[in-house]
Amino acid sequence: MNPSDKPAVLVIFYTAFGDLATRLPGILALRKHHPGAHLVCLTRAGMAENIRAFNTFDEYILDPAAGPRETLKFLRALRRRRFARIYDLQGYDRTVFYRMFLPVKQPRNQMRPGMFVFLTRNLVRRVRASLGIPARHIHQHEGIKQMWRDYGITPADTINPAAIPPLAESVAAALPAGDFALLAPGSSIPPNRGRDRRWPPRDLKRWPSRNFGEIARRLADKNIRPVVVGTAGEAHLLETIRAACPAAIDLLGATGPADLIHLGLRARVMVSGDTGPVHWASLGGVPVVSLFGSDVSPELWAPRNSVVLESRPLALLEPDAVWRAVERQLEQKR
């Protein structure tokens, strides 16, 4: 049973840091769409803290990701909750199986008739087909917004700073008083798969850190301090950048998702590969120079407000070409 008499709504989301950013506007709208409901998030341990920061959900359930016997025991416990609606933001085989197992009860009060809300890859394909647009030509942001709208939820186009946690004091203290730019030199390293196997995955996904150092130096020459964001495990990339630009500010491992949105509200420009922090910062409206070299299509996955530069591998992309794009983006946010 639910911990209160309120109708319960389950939202399933497990996946990557950057993917959460693309779903955030809809997630923030859930409370308005389901006033008085008990909102429950089913997720994995590594993602729970990122979602918790936005204070949308009343309860968090962690998937044990265990064997068949433990999984069935876990699903029986979920089944007893009798959720009024289930939003699957994942669409994995595992979560499709969960939806088949979990009933949806008749809702009470003003909630619409209970149903599974299939915010999944299959629904994305149906939306694309209904628009008469090939899948490769509709951006993920538009596809996700359309899916939310199909179920009566209208995500905001921009994030209201008042709706997110404030900038962490440690991050605010590290920022310069004047203009700054964001650099995200790292990324996850994908498996070496897809059509182009001539290059190792690292070279497909990451622009060389020495080139980020050159961009950092040119920014500093324009009195725009470079601020490096990413994970603590990318410290070796920062060392190379600082060899070219000692003025670069280190925020590796220091920023949560809300901090990145705040940085996106204030930064003049961001230069980034295909990595999670750029999707969060772009929610703040920062103009982005987005560098793509992997099999991920920028037509589907490029961040908001971005100029896209492609090269396979990324090491062949010259700093001069990136700098010209930076100068164009700087004109947007003086």
Q: What is the tens place of the pLDDT at every residue in 17-48?
A: 888 888 888 889 898 889 999 999 999 888 88
Closest listed residue to residue 86, CA positions, set 99, 73, 101, 72: 99
Hey, which bits of the chain come out as E strands? 8-12, 38-43, 59-62, 85-88, 116-117, 180-184, 225-230, 249-252, 270-272, 288-292, 306-310
**Which residue type does 217 have?**
R
pLDDT at residue 139, as a whole number: 66
* pLDDT tens, residue by residue, 57-66: 999 999 887 7
Per-residue confidence band for 127, with pLDDT thresholds at 50, 70 and 90 = low
Query: For residue 209, which phi and psi values (nearest 5 degrees)?
Result: -65, -25
Q: Indicate whether 1 pLDDT > 60.
A: no
CATH class as words, domain 167-330:
alpha beta
Q: Which two structure tokens, joined as six digits, stand for 68?
A: 């068949």
Residue bearing the bigger pLDDT, 234 or 202: 234
pLDDT at residue 253, as a whole number: 95
- Domain 8-157: give its CATH code: 3.40.50.2000
Domain ranges of the chain: 8-157, 167-330
Rounded to the nearest integer, the mean pLDDT of the chain is 82
**Helix or strand or coil: residue 310?**
strand
Q: How far apart are CA 113 and CA 159, in angstroms?
A: 30
Q: Indicate whether 166 pLDDT > 90.
A: yes
Closest listed residue to residue 299, CA positions, set 133, 173, 101, 57: 133
pLDDT at residue 218, as a whole number: 98
Average pLDDT over residues 113-124: 45
* pLDDT tens, residue by residue, 255-286: 999 999 999 999 999 999 988 999 999 999 99
Per-residue confidence band for 304, with pLDDT thresholds at 50, 70 and 90 = confident
Q: Indicate whether 194 pLDDT > 50.
A: no
Of 126-130, 210-214, 230-234, give the lowest mean pLDDT range. 126-130
Q: Indicate whether 117 pLDDT > 60.
A: no
- Please indicate whether the domains covering 8-157 and 167-330 agree at the CATH topology level: yes
Q: Indicate whether 170 pLDDT > 50.
A: yes
Closest listed residue to residue 41, CA positions, set 31, 53, 26, 51: 51
